[in-house]
A = this chain, B = another copy of it.
Amino acid sequence: MFKKAIADLRAGKPILIFDFKDREGETDIVIPSQFVNNEIIRFFRKQGGGLICTTMKEETARILGLPFLDDLYRKSLDFGDRLADTTDMRYDRTSSFTVTINHRDTFTGIPDQDRSKTISEFTSFISQIGKSPSRDPRVEFSKRFRVPGHVILLIARDGYFSMRKGHTELSTYMVERAGLIPSATIVETLSDNGKSMSREEAMEFAASNNLNFIHGNDIVSEWLEDESNGIGGIRYNTPGAYTLSQGIKKVG
């Protein structure tokens, strides 16, 4: 199933990822951001129903100077520590949210064409980081994108599942494992009754749309075996390493 899912991602075909029974218990539709187009956005909003979000690795966020909103809000808002407090959050202690963006060459930012363009340009942009060392990526980024916007960006924590086991990490890891530009575009699947699709419903949805469904457990197992090959693995998560989330309590 893992290999099939990787093959699908390489072919630009969406997959469904269920996280964990004891976490959100949600299934997201996932596609490598480099394959996003108008039809994908339409499919995501019609069939997914949640928030359409685009991920990046934490090292990309660091280069671009994009903070976790958790951190930004703690520092910047009145009573930010209280507002961003997550000790009562039932499935995690951190969120992946960072800023929202629009590509500057979009109009309102929300039509499928606009979101598709923003995501495609973002993916193309991050694939070029470091290739023109004379240019500051943060300045280049600000020339192409505006904040705030209509595409919600997420940051996959350094060290992947040693740090967090959310859809952000699961999807970004899979896309990176597929050898693609490490950014996934994802959306939560909601049932017609308004609840998150159950695992069973999501599996039916997958079957009826001819999509593959993979369980977070299977991804984490592969990642654990993958420790030594330099793609993922906890060895990236050395104690004391600088992370954007410094100062935030870690889970697991």
Contacts and interface: CB of A to CB of B under 8 A. Distances in A.
Contacts of A239: none
Interface residues of A, number: 58
A240 interface: no
Most chain B C-beta atoms within 10 Å of own C-beta, residue among A73, A86, A111, A145: A111
Contacts of A38: 194
A194 B42 contact: yes
A195 B110 CA distance: 9
7 contacts: A24-B107, A42-B194, A50-B150, A66-B77, A84-B146, A108-B188, A113-B195
Given A38-B194, A51-B150, 19 more contacts: A41-B194, A50-B150, A65-B78, A66-B77, A69-B99, A72-B72, A73-B99, A75-B76, A77-B99, A77-B147, A79-B138, A82-B143, A83-B99, A85-B146, A88-B146, A91-B108, A97-B100, A108-B196, A110-B190
